[in-house]
Amino acid sequence: MTDHSLKKNFEALFKHSPEIVGYAPGRVNIIGDHTDYNQGFVLPAAIQMGTHIAASRRDDNQICAFAGGFTQTIDQFPLDNIEYCHDEMWRNYVRGTLQCLRQHNNEFSGMNLYIAGNVPQGAGLSSSASFEIALLKTVTDLYSLDLGGVDAALIGQAAENSFVGCNCGIMDQLVSAMGLENHAMVLDCRDLSIKDAPIPEGTAILVVNSNVKRGLVDSEYNSRRSQCETVAQILGVAALRDLSVSQLQNAKLLLTDEQFRRARHVITENDRTMDAMAAMQANDLTRLGQLMAESHASLRDDYQVSTAELDGLVEIMSTVIGASGGARMTGGGFGGCVVGLMPEQKVAEVTAAVQQQYQQRFGLEPNIYQCTASMGAFRC
């Protein structure tokens, strides 16, 4: 939806023009999955799909939010009495984000909000983080709040953790807030420091939605986090980020086989993420592709969050890409998307292979997006 059509829709609903339109992008994670809540390293990029919110101030303390791109329903509630809603989950992203913002800065009051987005929901491209950061950017601009990108990311994460009920890490919100055009972001999830890593020139980012739907709150995502925290506690470290592969191997007898494999994925994925940054800086797509293949195998075998459909997509894409890039599942897993990096001239061939083979093998029609690394909402 364009800003012009969003404003028109706002006017039709609320009978006046919006004062501003806020926006925040979704993200694709190139490598480094299930490392963020283990205080490790991730390498995501903000993408050109995101959430737009047209907004105006109100004279009262009421929030009136319309989910134009979601359920076509209105949620209205007072800011001084925000309660969890059991009917439609999108309402809790509005309510939780505003409640957590009020704990940080309560110098705002009522608003009319018209929300529209084009990030596929449940696909692993962070539609929820895009939603939260777009809302925080909108309120910040509408009420001239003093709120930076890192604080916005922490507020968005707190909303998901404490209100929505998903124990996500910080990666999704931070890259949505602080991503840089034509760059991926290396994020240290312990101290929240970031480094911009340039996407090699001539490289395409292709995201394929398997259309295997999954909901993080209802999936095994939270149990994976709990397993990692248990291993860290058993081995006496603050987080799995503090362990090496050799240290884990020496402690293998203290752990169940499942605990060992979960930890091994996190530790090796941290190493792969830092190696991937070096490969990007060296413009080495062959090495980057090798690391992506290793990452997918680890997510499939050690972390057990892949599916047959995701494995099939990776196989189809990797066969065409060859040594000129790579593909892997991306996001929380249990469905969602595969990301591929490849020379731009390979995009048509990879797209054709996915279209020809995926539905035939799995009975699902894929959605294919060529993504560009985009600017974060608070980086502008």
Give catalytic residues, as residue numbers. 172
3-class DSSP state of 60: coil
- For residue 320, which of 293, 290, 354 has the smallest C-alpha distance? 354
Two tokens, residue 257? 């086989």
- What is the total residue count of the chain? 380
Q: How far apart are CA 190 and CA 209, in angstroms?
A: 30
Residues 295, 316 contacting (CB under 8 angstroms): no
Tokens of 278: 């070096």
Q: How many CB atoms lie within 10 A of CB 25?
A: 29
Q: Is 362 helix (H, G, I), strand (E, B) or coil?
A: helix
List all residues 6 or more positions away from 237 whose beta carbon is below 8 Å from its beta carbon.
Answer: 243
DSSP notation for 61-114? SEEEEEETTTTS-EEEEETTS----SS-HHHHHHHHHHHHHHHH------EEEE
Upper half-sphere CA count for residue 5 (Cβ side, 13 Å): 6
Using DSSP's 3-state secondary structure scheme, residue 224 falls into helix
CA–CA distance, 182 with 376 (Å, rounded to integer): 11
Residue with tokens 């509630």: 77
Give every CB contact of residue 105 below 8 A, 6+ residues apart in sequence: 145, 146, 147
Could you give the angle at the alpha carbon of 51 between the alpha carbons of 49 and 56, nearest 5°? Answer: 150
